[in-house]
Chain A
Amino acid sequence: MAVQDEQKVSFQIEGRSYQGIREESLLGALRRYGYEVPSLCYHEAVSPYGACRLCLVEVQKGKRRKLTTSCNYPVLEGIEVFLDTEKVVSTRKMVLQLLLAQAPEARSVRELAEEYGVTDTPFKKDEGNACISCGLCARVCKEIVGADAIGFAGRGLGKRMVSPYDETNQACIGCAACVVVCPTDCIGLKEENGIRSIERWHRDLPMKNCKVCERPFAPTFQLNHFADQIGVEKSHFDTCPNCR
């Protein structure tokens, strides 16, 4: 992608000068230049949300220096970025303790915590939970899939990611992009006896069998949805990609 000159800004990371694109995500720029910043809720394909608070950095802008999440902080002219300062690391450890309390079942959280030497949490654990309420699944469902089938319900401590009213939503096409993107693997996908079920959203969709090789390859509901979307006969998707 060609970047126009007026879009370019120069800024500093750990005292070294870099050129970035105005208002792009600071975390994206840091990763592009090979710096490692941990995060769970950031994905370059969707808009940043700043939910997991792990991508903390210190940013100095003029005389003010503050702690901020880098995923939703824009790259601006003349800012100075500091990674892994004492303040960043101690705050990140606190965030990890909170995440451990919120989602003790999440393997990725436990592994990251271990890397930072955090093994236990002083906060009350929400036993059995693996979801960190980062909303990445909902952002992907809305921005990439265009289905917008899931969202947050409740507020504060009761905030959780559900399908509307925690029931089956007909808008869900069972593409399982949410399962792929989930940083803590807490959604759950099963394909058994010709039915794809996404447990968390209570969605069970029968799979279509290929006309030629007679193997299930995608949910019938999803294929009909695509046929309607691109305006072809429903029989267009009778065969699997292999036999087509």
Chain B
Amino acid sequence: MEGPNVFAARLFPQDNFFVSGHRACQGCAEVLAVRMVHQVLGRNTIVASATGCMEIISSSYPDTAWAIPWIHVAFENSAAVASGVETGLDILMKKGKIPRRRIQVVGMGGDGATADIGLQALSGALERGHNMIYVCYDNEAYMNTGIQRSSSTPFGAATTTSPAGKQSQGQSTWKKNIPMIAAAHNIPYVATASPSYPFDLVAKVKKAMKVKGPAYLHIFSCCPTGWRMKPELAIAIGRLAVQTGSFPLYEIENGKLEINLPTPELRPLKDYLKPQGRFRHLDDATIAEIELRVQAEYRKLERRQGQVL
């Protein structure tokens, strides 16, 4: 189900705060996601960004692609800095030094900055209940340093630190389930989204803005360079990831789980793996093994549909 996607595109917010002139690769879906998220978040936003692709391509001196206040912080502490900014603003407003109005504070990072290096800072920020949004743009490896594996890299994917060869089938561990880790903090809003489904993404960012307390968004960001695939397939791969069940789109609102694009009949996983060079070495037996696991995970999610976690 693609949903209403024909004319609704013209109803998209028109003002860009992540502007053209950045240096992202061709077909980068991550940069598309960043642009769309900030089209919705609007002008009154402060961003704390961890090191990663989005920092490298958007802020090489003396240029910037950001038309809003944007802070580059170390790899591990974007959530900590965002929570500090939020608290600082709150105190300045309480003291009457700045007028009281809604300023959205956002922490952003890649999967490495979220799942590996920045996990403790993120966990702390979520636990303290700051009124902020944390967005993880998940491209499933450390891409800007040259495609090293992260804990978010899926099983079987070849990266430079989990190469495929005679002795190895690529990544030997399964993808870490960060949205569920975030949900385990009992925060009001957790969602997964994908730029291949822009209206779903827009609705989720809007919801995240509305909640009082921390919101966590996990955005699937196809990386043609690191995934060894054709740049023009970036959007299609995002759709296939959802349709095959390897990246289901769901949201957890006040603990209640809902799958947004239910796919009762999952597409064969091969459709998703085949166009990507990082899965080229996989034989049919391994693909079947991965498919079994992916489908089991999806059915597990389906069983929890509508339940309060």
Residues of chain A having any CB pair with chain B under 8 Å: 31-34, 36, 43-45, 111, 140, 144-145, 175-177, 179-181, 189, 191, 213, 215-218, 222, 240-242
Whether, in the assembled complex, B270 has its beta carbon less than 8 Å from a beta carbon of chain A, the answer is no
Say whether B43 contacts A36, CB under 8 Å. Answer: no
**What would be 25 A-B contacts, judged by CB atoms less than 8 Å apart?**
A32-B43, A36-B101, A45-B11, A111-B210, A140-B7, A140-B11, A144-B10, A145-B7, A175-B4, A175-B6, A175-B8, A177-B8, A179-B4, A180-B8, A181-B8, A181-B11, A213-B267, A217-B2, A218-B2, A218-B6, A241-B236, A241-B239, A242-B236, A242-B239, A242-B243
Give the Cβ gap from A167 to chain B, nearest Cβ, in Å: 22
Say whether B11 contacts A189, CB under 8 Å. Answer: no
Say whether B11 contacts A216, CB under 8 Å. Answer: no
A32–B44 Cα distance when bound, in Å, is 10
Chain B residues whose C-beta falls within 8 Å of the C-beta of A43 in the assembled complex: 11
Say whether B11 contacts A177, CB under 8 Å. Answer: yes
Whether, in the assembled complex, B199 has its beta carbon less than 8 Å from a beta carbon of chain A, the answer is yes
Size range of the interface on B? 20 to 34
Known: A44-B13, A140-B11; 10 extra A-B contacts, CB below 8 A, are: A34-B44, A36-B101, A45-B10, A144-B7, A180-B4, A180-B11, A180-B199, A215-B243, A217-B2, A242-B239
A43–B243 Cα distance when bound, in Å, is 32
Whether, in the assembled complex, B102 has its beta carbon less than 8 Å from a beta carbon of chain A, the answer is yes
Say whether A216 contacts B1, CB under 8 Å. Answer: yes
Give the Cβ gap from A184 to chain B, nearest Cβ, in Å: 14
Q: Which 3 pairs from chain A and chain B are nearest by CB? A: A176-B4, A177-B7, A180-B8
A180–B8 Cα distance when bound, in Å, is 7
Residue among B8, B13, B101, B199 with max Cβ neighbours from chain A (10 Å): B8
Residues of chain B having any CB pair with chain A under 8 Å: 1-4, 6-8, 10-11, 13-15, 42-44, 101-102, 199, 210, 236, 239-240, 243, 267
Q: A218-B2, A240-B2 are in contact. Are A32 and B15 (CB under 8 A)?
A: yes
Say whether B2 contacts A241, CB under 8 Å. Answer: yes
| CB-nearest residue of chain B to A181 | B11
Chain A residues whose C-beta falls within 8 Å of the C-beta of B267 in the assembled complex: 213
Q: A189-B4, A222-B6 are in contact. Are A44 and B14 (CB under 8 A)?
A: yes
A217–B243 Cα distance when bound, in Å, is 13
Say whether A177 contacts B4, CB under 8 Å. Answer: yes
Give the Cβ gap from A207 to chain B, nearest Cβ, in Å: 9
A181–B206 Cα distance when bound, in Å, is 13
Give the Cβ gap from A138 to chain B, nearest Cβ, in Å: 14
Give the Cβ gap from B109 to chain A, nearest Cβ, in Å: 26
Say whether B43 contacts A45, CB under 8 Å. Answer: no
Chain B residues whose C-beta falls within 8 Å of the C-beta of A242 in the assembled complex: 236, 239-240, 243
| CB-nearest residue of chain A to B103 | A34
Say whether A177 contacts B44, CB under 8 Å. Answer: no
Say whether A191 contacts B1, CB under 8 Å. Answer: yes
Chain A residues whose C-beta falls within 8 Å of the C-beta of B3 in the assembled complex: 176, 191
A179–B210 Cα distance when bound, in Å, is 20
| CB-nearest residue of chain A to B7 | A177
A191–B102 Cα distance when bound, in Å, is 37
Chain A residues whose C-beta falls within 8 Å of the C-beta of B8 in the assembled complex: 175-177, 180-181
Say whether A144 contacts B102, CB under 8 Å. Answer: no
Q: A44-B14, A45-B14, A180-B199 are in contact. Are A36 and B4 (CB under 8 A)?
A: no
